[in-house]
Amino acid sequence: MSEKLYNVLFLCTGNSARSIMAEAIMNRLGQGSFRAFSAGSHPTGQVHPQALALLQRLNYDTSSARSKSWDEFAADGAPKLDFVFTVCDNAAGEVCPIWPGQPMTAHWGVPDPAAAYGSDPEIALAFSDAYRMLDARISIFTCLPLASIDHLSLQQKLDEIGKS
């Protein structure tokens, strides 16, 4: 019997950095158990160059990374979502579309590295910090015993991960 493949959507306003990195991390760490996507409420239309550079330095395939609207995941024929995580405070406060599959949701806010300013090393550090936070949370999430945990306990764990 094959293991269930869980679909996970990471949301941010611009879908240019945090949600893109989260999608890449989940697809690597959760390979075989999770399939990740990312989207934005108001996508910028391009992936931030610093996000791409960081992922490429860490040997991620970025060839399919693109900034896209969350409307793609609420449309007919969209993947049935099991989990939706907001990774920015703006997206967490917005009224989201109705997601196919009634997924579990949680807010995993991370400071926006695309809003960082300063020297090149300071900006690179902001991207590295965001990556590190997302990687830690996703690592914890992928280790949860999803098939054997009740809905209420799982929701509590998802919320706790967002506070870590």
Q: What is the pLDDT of residue 1?
A: 40
Does the annotation count 143 as an active-site position? no
Is-contact 122 47, C-beta < 8 A?
no
Domain range 6-152, its CATH number among 3.40.50.2300, 2.40.10.10, 3.40.640.10, 1.20.1440.230 = 3.40.50.2300
User: Of 88, 126, 130, 134, which is the active-site residue?
Assistant: 88
Q: What is the pLDDT of residue 96?
A: 65
User: Of 8, 12, 87, 114, which is the active-site residue?
Assistant: 12
Whether the full predicted model's pTM is greater than 0.85, yes or no, is: yes
Residue-wise burial string across 58-80, b where 16 or more C-beta atoms lie within 10 A, e elsewhere: eebeeeebebbbbeebeeeebbe
User: Of 29, 58, 96, 144, which is the active-site residue?
Assistant: 96
What are the boundaries of each domain within the chain? 6-152
Q: What is the pLDDT of residue 49?
A: 95
> What number of CA atoms fall less than 13 Å from residue 109's CA on the CB side?
8
Q: What CA–CA distance (Å, rounded) separates 97 from 3?
A: 28
Block mean pLDDT (10 aa), the chain, length 164: 83 94 97 95 94 97 94 89 88 63 90 93 96 98 93 93 90
Spatial strand order of the sheet with 104-107 comes to 34-40, 6-12, 83-86, 104-107
